Amino acid sequence: MRFVVSLIVLTFPILDVLAAMRFARCTGIPTLAWLVASAVAGALLLRNERLSFRAKTLAALRGDQPLMRGLLDSCRRILAALLLILPGVVSDVIALLLLLLPINLGAPLATQPAGVSRSFGRDSLEGDFHRVD
pLDDT in tens, 24-51: 889 888 888 888 999 999 999 999 988 8
- Supply the pLDDT for residue 109: 47
- Supply the pLDDT for residue 56: 80
pTM metric for this prediction: 0.67
Instruction: Please report, for residues 54, 106, 120, 130, the alpha-carbon distance to residue 63 in angstroms, rounded to integers and kept in the order given.
Output: 14, 18, 8, 28
H/E segment holding residue 68:
helix 67-85
**Is the CB of residue 74 less than 8 Å from the CB of residue 103?**
no
> What CA–CA distance (Å, rounded) separates 85 from 18?
16
- Supply the pLDDT for residue 112: 46
- Provide the b/e sequence for 9-38 (b: ≥16 CB within 10 Å): eeeeeeebbeebeebbeeeeeebeebbeeb
Digitized pLDDT (tens) for each residue of the chain, 133 residues in all = 889 999 888 888 888 888 888 988 898 888 888 889 999 999 999 999 888 888 888 877 887 777 777 788 888 899 999 999 988 889 999 999 999 987 655 445 444 444 444 555 556 667 777 788 7
